[in-house]
Amino acid sequence: MDSKVKQTDTLIVLRADNLGRSVRDKVLVADASFEVHKGETLVIVGPSGSGKSSLLRLLNRLDEPTTGTVYLDNVDYRQIAPRELRRRVGMVTQRPFLFPGTVADNLRFGPRQRGQDLTETRIEELLASVGLAGYGSRGVANLSGGEAQRVSFARTLANSPEILLLDEPTSALDDDSKHGVEVLVAEIGREHGIPCVLVTHDVAQAARLGQRVLMLEAGRIVRNGTVEEVLGA
């Protein structure tokens, strides 16, 4: 019994415990408790304004929880320096917000914050992993929406995160680019073994990419289970 509990604990990368945030008496997220296991993609679905993005922003402490906390590898994340926490909990947003310069400059950004420099080989590896081999010297102004989003993925992966938070990463893309990014998300889980927490309003996408699903309504988790249990897929 003990060994089973221990084994489950080692599989948990991130655990939200009674997590909540209220701003001026408005409840954005309340009593959110869940776990993210090694290698899985947990999808958060819910109607607009249900608190999906607000919940995601609490997981890398871009916003401060007003109740509860998050454990990263069983350590309360308030005990981890915010910069280190955000390196370990990577985030890709709906819009890529690339910094002016080249694709390689963007990939170097994260490691440079810690005084590290990416080698050309590593940059090429990262770009190849998102299907953009040879793009390093390109200016970001000339990229398509799908390419820019892939660069955003590579830039986050350059920080060697232990978990990825994806906030509607395909909602601003056309169908072709959307499919490409979905394949990329699946590969990140499969090949890099990095667990993902994906926020989406697209139930079909949730069924395609998720192993487990959280459904949010008015900031509260109303369902938590497998894709079949929550979405009936």
Partner 1 sequence: MLKTLFHGQLQLGLAQAVVAGVAALLVVLMGRQRGVHLEKELASAMVRGLVQIIAVGSILLLLLRGPNWTSVFLLIVMIVAAGATSARRAKGMPQAFQVSTWAIASGAGSVIAVMTLLGVIDTPITTLVPVGSMLIANAMNTNGLALNRFRADVLAHVGEIETALALGADAKSSVAPYVQVAFEASLIPAIDSLRSLGIVWIPGLMAGMLLSGARPVYAAIYQFVVLAMIFAGSGLTSLVSTLLMRTRVMSRAEQLILRPGA
Q: Where does this chain bind partner 1 (CB under 8 A)?
A: 60-64, 78, 82-84, 86-87, 90-91, 93, 95, 97, 99, 109-110, 113-114, 155-156, 159
Number of residues that make up the chain:
233
Encoding tokens for residue 110?
């994260």
CB of 96 to partner 1, least distance (A): 8
Least distance (Å) from partner 1 to the CB of residue 230? 28
Report which DSSP code applies to 143: -
Q: Which has the closest alpha carbon to 42: 213, 215, 224, 230? A: 213
Of the two residues 114 and 190, which places its CB atom closer to partner 1 in the complex? Answer: 114
What CA–CA distance (Å, rounded) separates 12 from 3? 15
Using the structure block, give the residue that is written with the tokens 């994806």: 166
Beta carbon nearer to partner 1, 15 or 86: 86
Q: Tell me whether residue 91 or residue 227 sits nearer to partner 1 (CB atom).
A: 91
Whichever of 33 and 113 has its CB closer to partner 1, that residue is 113
Nearer to partner 1, 68 or 179 (CB): 68
DSSP state of 212: E
Nearest distance, CB of residue 62 and partner 1, angstroms: 6
> How many whole angstroms separate alpha carbon 185 and alpha carbon 173?
14
Helices 120-129, 103-113: axis angle to 10 degrees equals 110
Min CB(187)–partner 1 separation in Å: 21
Q: Minimum CB separation from partner 1 for residue 20, in Å?
A: 16
- CA torsion 149→33→57→213, rounded to 10°? 20
